[in-house]
Amino acid sequence: MTALVLGHKNPDTDSIIAALAAENLFRGRGIDVAAAAQGEPAPETKFVLDRFKLNAPQIVSSVAGHDVYLVDYSDLAQAPDDFKDAKLLGILDHHKLGDVTSDAPLECWIQPVGCSNTIIKVVSDFYGVKIPAALAGAMLCAILSDTVLFKSPTCTKTDVKVANELAEIAGIQDINALGMEMFKAKSNLDASPRDLIFRDFKDFDMGGKKVGIGQLELISLDMISSDLMGKLQSELDAVKAEGRNSAILVLTDIMKEGSKMLVSSDNEDIIYQALGAKKDNTWMSGVMSRKKQVVPPLQAAFKA
């Protein structure tokens, strides 16, 4: 049976490209797998796939009865609803260890780096699996996306080293120019408020409460009009009402290197206090990473 290599819900560039990169890794080791995704590529990811002439992974919503490798997550909240009926074979991830479990020993590569594709490059080198030039270019873009052009506090020396190695394989001369081109595509606001919120959105279990956090990264937050900001807040209230204690949208300004946030919550004070923000001024200087700078303090606050 062909196993699925599957990224998280509301897939971002790292999630989709990691599925393709892991497919190359496992097939290079003689393991029968197929890349999959839990949704359509977002504008940034479409740019990357088109730029390097790669096909998007197949879209799946059910994994019951399948063997599955997870990439870029290990939380049940980000897996298909019937994941309990699948067989977990392995994990390639750069986040905290989540709550998935397995009935048998599994292959697990989890490292505190800025991007899942960084790990896949390291593991590919370990097994001597070559990475095609086009795939290397896409993997480079995934690293640039997740590390926000190496500006994110999640970025490590390993990410930078691997990015340069991938650029050499792909024949990319100017990494920064490629990154800026990609982030311009990512800054496309031609979508509904709901689609913008869910472009990169993840649900978390925090102290028994369901907290959803989306992140929208833009070249400049000045791109968001006051009218759109109001619509985003209204839609965020609707997202919160869908069974969540809280819904948060982190709006990141790539050039100013900081974020502001929109909040809809039964526990607003906990959120503002945990993130050092004020209700009338939610700008958080230097905050670029949901994974490292938003989720951990919120988890600690909700468990308190």
Q: Is pLDDT at 227 greater than 80 in this prediction?
A: yes
By mean pLDDT, which of 23-27, 110-114, 132-136, 278-282 is the weakest? 278-282
Domain range 193-303, its CATH number among 3.10.310.20, 2.20.130.10, 2.40.50.1070, 3.40.190.10: 3.10.310.20
State the pLDDT confidence band at 234, using cuts at 50, 70 and 90. Answer: very high
Residue 281 reports pLDDT greater than 90: no
Q: What is the mean pLDDT of residues 270-283?
A: 93
Does 135 have pLDDT greater than 80? yes
149: phi > 0 → left, psi -120 to 50 → alpha, else beta; which?
left
pLDDT digits (tens, 9 = 90+) for 179-225: 999 999 989 899 999 999 999 999 999 999 999 999 999 999 999 99
Quick one: which H or E segment has residue 182?
Answer: helix 175-186
Residue 304 has pLDDT above 80, yes or no: no
229 contacts: CB under 8 Å, gap ≥ 6:
262
| Residue 286 φ/ψ region, left for φ over 0, alpha for ψ in the -120 to 50 degree band, beta for the rest | left
Helix (H, G, I), strand (E, B) or coil at 42: coil
Rounded to 10 degrees, the C-alpha dihedral 84/85/91/94 comes to: -40
Q: How is 8-40 classified by DSSP, letter by letter?
A: EES--HHHHHHHHHHHHHHHHTT--EEEEEESP
Q: Where in the chain is the domain with CATH 3.90.1640.10?
A: 3-184
Fold (CATH) for 3-184: inorganic pyrophosphatase (n-terminal core) (3.90.1640)
The β-bridge relationship of strands 284-285 and 67-71 is unpaired
For strands 258-265 and 284-285, give the pairing: antiparallel
Q: Are strands 201-206 and 209-218 parallel, antiparallel or unpaired?
A: antiparallel
Identify whether the C-beta of residue 65 lies closer than 8 Å to the C-beta of residue 83. Answer: no
Asked whether residue 22 carries a pLDDT value surpassing 90, the answer given is yes
For position 181, what pLDDT does the model report? 94
137-176 in b/e form (b: 16+ CB < 10 A) is bbbbbbbbbbbbbbebebbbebbbebbebbbebbebeebe
**Mean pLDDT score, 7-20:** 97
Do residues 68 and 85 make contact, with C-beta atoms less than 8 angstroms apart?
no
- pLDDT, one tens digit per residue, over 76-121 is 999 999 999 999 999 999 999 999 999 999 999 999 999 999 999 9
Q: What are the residue ranges of CATH 3.10.310.20 in the chain?
A: 193-303
Are the CB atoms for 46 and 157 separated by under 8 Å? no
The DSSP-derived string for 95-124 is: S---S---SS--EEEE-SSS-HHHHHHHHH
Do 196 and 216 meet the contact criterion of CB atoms below 8 Å apart?
A: yes
Give yes or no for a contact between 208 and 170, defined as CB atoms under 8 angstroms apart: no
